[in-house]
Amino acid sequence: MMNSIIEDIKRSFDSGNMITRLIIVNIAVFMFLALFNAFLPSVYTSFSNWIYIPSSPIKLLTRPWTILTHMFAHLGMWHMAFNMLILYWFGRIVGDLLNDRRVLPLYLLGGFAGAVAYFLVTNFAGVTGGNAHGASAAVLCIVAAAAWTSPNYTVRLLFLGDVKIKWIAAAVIFVNVLATQGNINTGGAWGHLGGLAFGAYYVWQLRKGSDITEPMQDSINWIADKYNGIPKKEKTSLKVTHVAAKKSSIKKQLTSTNSTGLQKQVDVILDKIKVNGYDSLTDEEKEILFTASKK
C-alpha cells in the first residue's frame, strides 16, 4: 500500500502544475515536523530554532537559510490546511492569468518580503517577536497578485456564493491591519502585509512592462534543466521573428480596441479558463490576456 501511495504522490508531483508541487512539499514538511514534535518534543523545540526565522539579527546571521525554510514550516494542522486551501484557490488563478512559471518565484519572493517586514518591525518598531514560521506571507502574495491582476474574477465560496476576489483581498488586508494593533502574532500580521504588498507591487511593475521575477524564473529553469539533463535550447531567428511579429500584431489589435471591447474579450477568455482551464487557450488568447493584464 505504501508503495502505491508513494507512486501516486510522485506521479502527481511530476505531472502537476507548480501549485500542486508546492502543496505536496508543504504537506510533506508538515507531516515530518508533526511526527518529529509528537515523538521527540524536546528535541523538536531545539530543532525548530534552526528552521523558523528568528527576529534576532545575530541569530539570523548564523541561520540565513531560515529565510527560505520558514515559509514551508507549519506546526498547526489548521494553519497548514488554511494556507494550502488559499494557495490552491488563488494559485490556480495566478497560474491561469500570469502563467504557471511565475507561481514559484512569486511564492518565494512573497515569503521573503514577509520575512523582511517581520524582521524590521520586531527590531525597529518595538514589536515583540521570537520567531516566525508558515507560508502565510508567501500565500498572501499570491492572493494579492491574483486580485490586482483581475479584481473582478469571481470565485464561489461556501455559504457566500459568488464573490469577486477584490473583496476577498480587501477583507484579508483589513483583518491584518487590525491584527497589527493586537497582542497576538503582531509581527506575523506585519509579515502578512509584507507579502500582500509585494504581490501588488509585482503586478504594478508587470503592467509597466517589467517582470521582476524573470531572474528567478531563469535560475529555476536552469536548475530544472540541469536536474533533468536537458540541453540548452537554441532559438532560431525565424522563430523569434515570427513570435515578435505575432505579438506586434496582437498589440496593435488591442491598441485599436476600445476598453469596453477589450474587457469583453478578456471576460470571454476568463469564462473559457473557468470551464476548460488555461491550457485550452490558443496562443493568441494567452497573449491577449497577458497584454490586457498590463494595461
Number of domains in the chain: 2
Which of the four pLDDT bands, split at 50, 70 and 90, describes residue 295? low
My answer on whether 136 and 187 are in the same domain is yes
Which of the four pLDDT bands, split at 50, 70 and 90, describes residue 108? very high
Mean pLDDT is lowest, of 133-137, 216-220, 235-239, 256-260, for 235-239
132 φ/ψ angles, rounded to the nearest 5 degrees: -135, 145
Per the structure, the complete domain to which residue 253 belongs is given by 238-293
203-249 pLDDT tens trace: 999 988 899 999 998 998 888 777 777 665 554 443 444 445 544 55
Does residue 26 fall inside a structural domain?
A: yes
With a cut of 90, say whether residue 143 has pLDDT above it: yes
Mean pLDDT is lowest, of 30-44, 170-184, 223-237, for 223-237
Does residue 229 fall inside a structural domain?
A: no
93 and 148 Cβ atoms separated by less than 8 Å: no
Does residue 232 fall inside a structural domain?
A: no
My answer on whether 99 and 146 are in the same domain is yes
- In 131-262, which ranges are E strands? 131-132, 154-157, 161-164
Does residue 13 fall inside a structural domain?
A: yes
CATH of residue 128's domain is: 1.20.1540.10
Structural domain ending residue among the three candidates 169, 187, 222: 222
55 φ/ψ angles, rounded to the nearest 5 degrees: -85, -20
- Give dist(CA 90, CA 221) in Å, integer: 23
What's the angle, vertex CA 288, arms to CA 290 and CA 211, rounded to 5?
A: 20
pTM value is 0.78
Structural domain ending residue among the three candidates 222, 249, 284: 222
Query: Grid coordinates standing for 96?
Result: 491561469
HEC readout, 230-251: CCCCCCCHHHHHHHHHHHHHHH
**The predicted structure's pLDDT at residue 237:** 43
My answer on whether 200 and 246 are in the same domain is no
- Give dist(CA 271, CA 165) in Å, integer: 15
Which helix (H) or strand (E) segment is 97 a member of?
Answer: helix 77-98
42 and 106 Cβ atoms separated by less than 8 Å: no
Structural domain ending residue among the three candidates 169, 198, 222: 222
My answer on whether 123 and 252 are in the same domain is no
177 and 184 Cβ atoms separated by less than 8 Å: no
- Give dist(CA 22, CA 31) in Å, integer: 14
What's the angle, vertex CA 123, arms to CA 83 and CA 50, rounded to 5?
A: 55
My answer on whether 207 and 283 are in the same domain is no
- Give dist(CA 152, CA 165) in Å, integer: 6
My answer on whether 209 and 267 are in the same domain is no
Average pLDDT for the chain: 85
